[in-house]
Amino acid sequence: MSNKPLETLSPSAVLPVSIPAITREKAIVEATGPINQQDCRKPKENTRAEARVFESTFGGRKSIVKERFSKKYRHPTLDSKLTLKRLNAEARCMTKARRLGVSTPVLYAVDPVSHTLTFEYVEGPSIKDIFLEFGLKGVVEEKMDDIAFQIGDIIGKLHDGGVIHGDLTTSNMLWRSDTNQLVLIDFGLSFVSTLPEDKGVDLYVLERALLSMHSSCGNVMDKILSAYRKSTKQWSSTFNKLGQVRLRGRKRTMVG
In tens, the pLDDT along 117-145 reads 999 999 999 999 999 988 778 778 899 99
Bridge partner residues of 119 (DSSP): 64, 107
The number of C-alpha atoms within 13 Å of 87 and in the hemisphere containing its C-beta is 30
Pick the CATH number of 6-120 from 3.40.50.1580, 3.30.200.20, 3.30.930.10, 1.20.1250.20: 3.30.200.20
Could you give the dihedral angle defined by the CA atoms of residues 117, 118, 124 and 127, in that order, rounded to the nearest 10 degrees?
-10
CATH 3.30.200.20 domain extents, the chain: 6-120
Between 78 and 107, whose confidence is greater?
A: 107
Q: Write out the catalytic residue numbers.
A: 167
DSSP state of 216: G
Provide the whole-model pTM.
Answer: 0.78
pLDDT tens sequence across 185-220: 999 999 999 999 999 999 999 999 999 989 888 899
Q: What is the pLDDT of residue 199?
A: 98
CATH 1.10.510.10 domain extents, the chain: 127-251
DSSP state of 105: -
Mean pLDDT throughout 48-71? Answer: 89
The arrangement of secondary structure in 127-251, i.e. its CATH architecture, is Orthogonal Bundle (1.10)
Q: What is the pLDDT of residue 28?
A: 30
Between 75 and 169, whose confidence is greater?
A: 169
pLDDT tens sequence across 164-180: 999 999 999 999 999 99
pLDDT tens sequence across 6-43: 433 333 334 444 333 333 333 333 333 333 344 444 43
Which spans in the chain are helix H? 20-32, 76-99, 127-137, 141-160, 196-213, 220-231, 235-255
